[in-house]
Structure 1
């Protein structure tokens, strides 16, 4: 079980994807932590400064003439500007560079940048003001035809403190995200793999249903991944070659059996016409045995092809009576009694009458062959089964798996045969989707055809 799990394609896909996903997350998290730790100003500081000047620009209030008259800030941000006037300041200029609005501590100072406001718009410039390092962010705000400029000055000390506060929880956050993401991915990945491999499972199930009776079936490539399509096509081509070989084999078997019947009949007739030939009975016995084997070969070739069956409504009792009548002389010669037991008012079944006759004839004939003198062979019919019981010595358990194989005969078998009778019965049962079983009784054997 463990070996099967380890060799499973689903397990390998799961393990490979989990490893790739975990490695990707770890590498990505390491890069993020490294960038934030080694380049805090570039990674977070500039973003904070850009957001800050953007919020000042968004909070501008204009009068009817289109001039900015005040700045509305959220409570926390307004509080920061009031508490840290030496580290965080803003200014609002008109297009000519005149100061219109400013935060506490920023109104009376000289211009922060020597360049023109238009040239500085959209940039962040680092300068020193009163011996203190600041980052100056500038943004242009348009109001009708007029242009205004918003500037924020953020001290390097404030930016560093802010960045450190934001960086501090990042490693733990990244670890938590990686852990949760790995668990979720690991739990959902089997469902994804199962869905992706569903076409392959369906193809496998379809392939398992292919038997010598439906070699014309071909596997569909619909929904199959492109990488597996050549495999399916190769399998279909192999089926085509197998179908052709099986057809040639069956045609040869049928042709050979058919061609042998006429010479055997002629040979028997010639022997009958030659009075000087000795031990005719032995020769007749051998010829009859060969003729029987030829007939069985012909039957085997016929029942191995589904198109040779002609189905219709059949009354089992009528076929059973025909079998009993056909084998009555053989039973009398062996001093075996044939009896037929049937349930009343049996419904017709859907079957090939000739095939059903051959099936019952072969089983009953075998039962007669193994029954002792004064033995009884009973043919019982009900709604769900046909049973044949004999008074023979029974079948050793180790022989049961070989009973329905072609050309197999028990080592101690005392009657003539080619070992094809039960193989033919098996083929007929398969064609009708019946089940054929055998069991040993206290005395004798029971064959059951489950309808």
Structure 2
């Protein structure tokens, strides 16, 4: 069971996709952690530029372009209040005069004390190192215009603060990434089978349709609707093989029927000529051989007929009536061998959906074989009910190693004591297949039982 599950295409697709998904997440998470861990300045710079943007968005001007105030979000304002010595901002005019500030940048209280030595216009849009109050900072500068007035927003963050911020963001990443990887892989693994089943559904439908094709519906072709383009050539090739098989089968059946028809007439004429010439030596032996050949020809015709689905005409048939017709037809043969034919049936008249002529041929072949193997004063019993028809004889039985070959065409047991072409049981199998019946053979303590399960 496990090996079958492993060999399934859907299982392999599931395993490969889940593994690829997990490896991809691991590689992406590892790359992100490595970049943040080895290039913390990049994260600090991004954080600092976001702070500048928030301050720029919060600036409020009057109608003349005069700066009035700055309105920050609670989270941004809280950072400037909690760490005034490590994070600070100010807004300067074009001359460098301080207009607004989170705190005084000059320890001595001078509001115009510069953070950078370079010109403000040159510093705009950059992040540069600076020493403020004896501590190392990085200063981000952004130019802002309102009407004809120009202002500059600067945000300074100490190196110590940036390192603490980066460390605080990096530490939970491995654990978070691990849990995210586990949860995402589980969800992906659970939902992927549904996707695979949906994708492979056309292939399964084509497989089911192919399994239903047999010699009776060789005209059926697999639909390529919804089939993936990679598999469509396989479907087309299979349909092409069916077309060639159908043509070959039709040619074979036509040859079989034509040969049988052509043989019937000369055999009849030959028998007539022999009967008109009593002086022919071994006349009885020749007539016997001709009769055997005629019987084989008839069986070939029957085989050709029952191998074509269009030759069947299904109707509600009383199986007991057909069995009685078979017994009446073979009564002379049974009397000649001193074999008694007996039918057992229930009170209800069993009716089945079948081709009456085909059912007659099937039962005739079984009963005729039973007569051939039965000893003198033996009994051939036909038991009929709504579910099955069973034929039992009192012959020597069938060897176990012969059972697999019973229904093969032209196969005859090596120790067979009566004439035949080895086609009777093959015809029975073709008829049973056309009716979707099941044939069974049971070796009894005395004799054999053939069962037709309807």
Q: Is the 8 A contact 1:386 1:448 kept in 2?
A: yes
Q: Residues 152-231 of structure 1: matches in 2 within 5 Å?
A: 152-231=155-234
Aligned: 1:445 with 2:448: yes
TM-score in terms of structure 2 length = 0.89
What is the CA–CA distance in structure 2 between the aligned matches of 1:290 and 1:199, rounded to whole Å? Answer: 51
Task: Please name the residue that 1:81 is paired with.
Answer: 80
Return the offset for 1:132. 4.0
> 1:190-238: per-residue Cα shift (whole Å, max 9, x none)?
4433333332222222222221111111111122211111111111111
CA contact (8 A) 1:82 1:104 kept: no
Partner residue in 2 for 1:271 = 274
Q: 1:344 aligns with which of 347, 356, 361?
A: 347
Q: Give the gaps of 5 or more residues in structure 1.
A: none
* DSSP-derived class of the 2:29 partner: helix
Q: Map Cα deviations across residues 58-104 of structure 1 (whole Å, 9 max, x no partner).
A: 44466787754444445564454244333221113457765321111
SS of residue in 2 equivalent to 1:313: strand
**Paired residue for 1:53?**
52
In 1, Cα distance between equivalents of 2:281 and 2:73: 127
1:185 Cα shift?
A: 3.5
Following the alignment from structure 1 to structure 2, what is the Cα–Cα distance between the partners of residues 124 and 296? Answer: 101
2:17 partner SS? helix
2:439 is aligned with 1:436: yes
- The residue aligned with 2:425 is 422
Report how many residues are paired: 449
Q: Which blocks of at least 5 consecutive residues in structure 2 are unaligned? A: none
CA distance in 2, matches of 1:7, 1:450: 35
Query: What CA distance in whole angstroms lies between the structure 2 residues aligned with 1:244 and 1:136?
Result: 86
Residue deviations 1:103-136 (CA, integer Å, cap 9, x gap) = 112361334454345x655543434445543322
2:406 to 403, 406, 409: 403
| TM-score, L = length of structure 1 | 0.90
Q: CA RMSD in A?
A: 2.7
What is the match of residue 115 of structure 1?
119
Q: Secondary structure at the match of 1:346?
A: coil
Residue of structure 2 in register with 1:385 after alignment: 388
1:361–1:89 CA distance, 2 compared to 1 (3 A): same
SS at match of 2:216: helix
Write the deviation string for residues 402-446 of structure 1: whole angstroms up to 9, x where unpaired: 221111112221111111111101111111112222223332222
Matched, 1:286 2:286: no
**How far 1:306 sits from its partner (Å)?**
0.3
Cα-to-partner distance string for 1:289-344 (whole Å, 9 max, x where unaligned): 11101100110011001011112232223222221111111111111112233333
Q: In structure 2, how many angstroms separate the alpha carbons of the residues matched to 1:300 and 1:144? A: 102
Partner in structure 1 of residue 26 of structure 2: 26
